Amino acid sequence: LDIGDGKHYFYWLAESQTAPESAPVVLWLNGGPGCSSLFGNLGENGPFRVNSDGKTLTLNPSSWNSVANMVYFESPVSVGFSYKEDKKYNNTDQSTAVDNHLALESFFKKFPELKKNPFYISGESYAGIYIPMLAQQIFKTKSTINLKGVLIGNGYLDLETLDGQHSYDLSVGHGMLATESYENLIENCCECKTGEVMHAYDFSKAPNKTKCGSVDVQSVGCPNPYNMYDDCDPSAAYVHIYNKHYAKALNRPPMKLNANDNNKCPHNGYTEWLNVPEVRKALHVRPEDTQIWSDCGGEYEDFGRDQQSTVTELLDVYKIEKLVIFNGNFDTVCDHIANQRFIDRLNLKKVGHYSSWKTPDGFAGGYVQHYEKNLSFVLVRGAGHMVPHDKPEAALQMLKNVIGN
């Protein structure tokens, strides 16, 4: 997709398996910043998944394109196959919002038959910033895109809210931190007894710094902070992104790779698959693009805008029809407590009670709390940071519930 200024977006459209001419169009964005949405396609909610051999594919029975026209953008430029002709990249939150909007307009110009369909923006992690800002851009420019709602998964919505006492509450509640260490942290190492937001891992302002040096929260934590019950590390690319952005911003220790030497850990084959010449040709990747595709690594300068004012504007000014914030409860990077507290800061009235919702097999998929002004919080039980990967059936049911009212 040509978006001007020498910028070109790589996209992938997976037509709906059900009535594509009228099915909703759902854009999916992965986060990072700097991670490709082709991971979301090939490893989470796309029509098939790449096997660990990097050569063969398996159909995904819980693909989101079973009910929607799914679109995946490699965003911003410099990510994956997306590029800028002069290779001078200065991506920021604001420039990415503008570029994502331009790419959407270019997409609907290419597929005008889909423009009348209901449109939703979805994604996870740092897309918690991409998504609200893109929705704001669509409304602000009075675009004719038929935007109905957004789904923000395990979103990085606000640095301050992410970095609070709940980081310790979550750890001790799941047995990753001894109660004695927890009590020491709360008493001596952070200003959090009042329940106010604080920098949980920044001990420079600790009431009693001398008692904090022996507490290593990371070392007694889980091998995979993206899913505390996953025995295997996340990919090296995600470790790099975590250390480059999240650990630095949250004053947390860097993540270490320590479990991927276990041959029982599955290997993600999509990196190899996307570098097979025949595959790249079939996907219409430029022949002159000889760069090795990787799932994360795009260049990004600006980081971490608080989305409270943006979300408030979407609800109050533009009166968006649906704003869904969903979380897996096993994620420790962008955890569910932080995002519930983000919602609390919006001062919205609750509609009904916190209640369970079910998957087609009759089991509890998780819990939901509705609020005034069309906002809902959805917890997906047993999922980590990548909900459609960890709980594909529940994730698909959640999407069906949203687009089907």
**Residue 262 in domain:** no
Task: Give dist(CA 340, CA 328) in Å, integer.
Answer: 12
Same domain, 17 and 151: yes
Q: How many contiguous H segments (helices) and E segments (strands) does the chain have? A: 14, 14
Same domain, 148 and 181: no
Question: How confident is the model at residue 200, as a pLDDT?
Answer: 47
Same domain, 9 and 104: yes
Of all residues in the chain, the percent with pLDDT exceeding 70 is: 80
- In the predicted model, what is the mean pLDDT of residues 212-216? 52
Same domain, 151 and 7: yes
**3-state SS string over 326-337?**
EEECCCCCCCHH
Question: CA torsion 227→229→230→236, rounded to 10°?
Answer: 40
**Residue 172 in domain:** yes
- In the predicted model, what is the mean pLDDT of residues 101-122? 98
The catalytic residues are 125, 331, 385
**Contact between 361 and 393 (Cβ < 8 Å):** yes
Same domain, 328 and 340: yes
Q: How many CB atoms lie within 10 A of CB 319?
A: 10
| Last residue of one domain, picked from the residues 249, 270, 286 | 249
Question: How confident is the model at residue 332, as a pLDDT?
Answer: 85
Closest CA to 80 of 300, 301, 296: 296
**Residue 214 in domain:** yes
Q: Give how far the C-alpha of residue 232 lies from the chain's centroid of Cα atoms, to the nearest Å.
A: 20
pLDDT band for 69, please (50, 70, 90 cuts). Answer: very high
| Last residue of one domain, picked from the residues 216, 249, 282 | 249
**Residue 279 in domain:** no
**Residue 264 in domain:** no
Question: How confident is the model at residue 279, as a pLDDT?
Answer: 95
Same domain, 234 and 344: no
CATH of the domain at 111: 3.40.50.1820
Joined together, the tokens standing for residue 7 give 């910028």
Question: How confident is the model at residue 176, as a pLDDT?
Answer: 81
Closest CA to 44 of 392, 399, 398: 392
Same domain, 125 and 27: yes
The model's pTM: 0.89
Examine the pLDDT at 17 and tell me if it is beyond 70. Answer: yes
Same domain, 99 and 186: no
| Last residue of one domain, picked from the residues 228, 249, 270 | 249
Same domain, 392 and 311: yes
pLDDT in tens, 76-95: 988 999 988 888 888 889 99
pLDDT in tens, 320-362: 999 999 999 999 888 999 899 999 999 999 999 999 999 989 9
Joined together, the tokens standing for residue 389 give 């990967």
Same domain, 190 and 149: no
Q: What is the residue range of 70's domain?
A: 2-158+302-403
**Residue 291 in domain:** no
Task: Give dist(CA 275, CA 290) in Å, integer.
Answer: 9
**Can you list the positions of beta strands (E) in 144-186?**
147-153
pLDDT in tens, 224-251: 778 888 877 666 555 655 665 555 555 5
Give the CA radius of gyration of the chain: 21
H/E stretch holding 83 reads strand 83-84
Task: Give dist(CA 250, CA 377) in Å, integer.
Answer: 24
Average pLDDT taken over every residue of the chain:
85
pLDDT in tens, 259-291: 445 556 666 788 899 999 999 999 999 888 777
Question: CA torsion 306→312→315→318, rounded to 10°?
Answer: -90
Question: How confident is the model at residue 238, as a pLDDT?
Answer: 58
Examine the pLDDT at 254 and tell me if it is beyond 70. Answer: no
Joined together, the tokens standing for residue 36 give 């490709």
**Residue 297 in domain:** no
Task: Give dist(CA 384, CA 228) in Å, integer.
Answer: 7
Number of domains in the chain: 2
Task: Give dist(CA 21, CA 116) in Å, integer.
Answer: 9
Task: Give dist(CA 292, CA 360) in Å, integer.
Answer: 40
Question: How confident is the model at residue 291, as a pLDDT?
Answer: 79
H/E stretch holding 124 reads strand 119-124
Question: How confident is the model at residue 196, as a pLDDT?
Answer: 43
Question: Residue type at 35?
Answer: C
Question: How confident is the model at residue 193, as a pLDDT?
Answer: 47
**Residue 295 in domain:** no
Same domain, 181 and 312: no
- In the predicted model, what is the mean pLDDT of residues 379-394? 96
Burial of 260 from C-beta contacts in 10 A (0-12 / 13-18 / 19+): middle
pLDDT in tens, 136-157: 999 999 999 999 999 999 999 9
Examine the pLDDT at 35 and tell me if it is beyond 60. Answer: yes
Q: Which residue has the tokens 């609020």?
A: 371
pLDDT in tens, 161-209: 676 667 778 888 888 888 887 787 777 666 554 444 344 445 455 555 5
Same domain, 170 and 60: no
